C-alpha cells in the first residue's frame, strides 16, 4: 500500500486506538497494510459517501 501525504491510518485494535497522519509520501509500494506499534494492522478510515442526487433533491425541497 503506497502512503500519500496527509493520508490517515488507524489501528484496527480497539484497545490501542493509535492514529497516524502521513508526513511524507512513500517512494515504495508495499504488498500489505502498515503495522502499528502494537503489531496490529493499520487501515484507512471509512468515509461515508454522499449521494449527489439526494443532496440536490433535499436542497430543492427546502425551497418549497
pLDDT digits (tens, 9 = 90+) for 31-54: 778 889 999 999 888 877 776 665
Residue 19 · residue 8 · CB < 8 Å? yes
The answer on pLDDT for 58 being more than 60 is: no
pLDDT at position 28 is 77
How confident is the model at residue 48, as a pLDDT? 77
pTM of the model: 0.60
Residue 63 has pLDDT above 90, yes or no: no
Residue 16: Cβ within 10 Å count:
15
Backbone φ/ψ region at 30: left (φ over 0), alpha (ψ -120 to 50), beta: beta
Task: Write down the pLDDT at residue 13.
Answer: 92
**Region 5-26: what's the mean pLDDT?**
89
Amino acid at each position: 500500500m503506497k502512503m500519500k501525504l496527509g493520508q490517515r491510518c488507524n489501528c484496527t485494535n480497539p484497545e490501542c486506538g493509535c492514529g497516524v497522519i502521513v508526513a511524507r509520501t512513500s517512494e515504495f509500494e508495499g504488498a500489505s497494510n502498515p503495522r502499528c506499534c502494537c503489531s496490529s494492522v493499520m487501515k484507512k478510515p471509512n468515509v461515508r459517501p454522499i449521494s449527489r442526487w439526494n443532496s440536490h433533491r433535499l436542497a430543492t425541497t427546502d425551497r418549497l
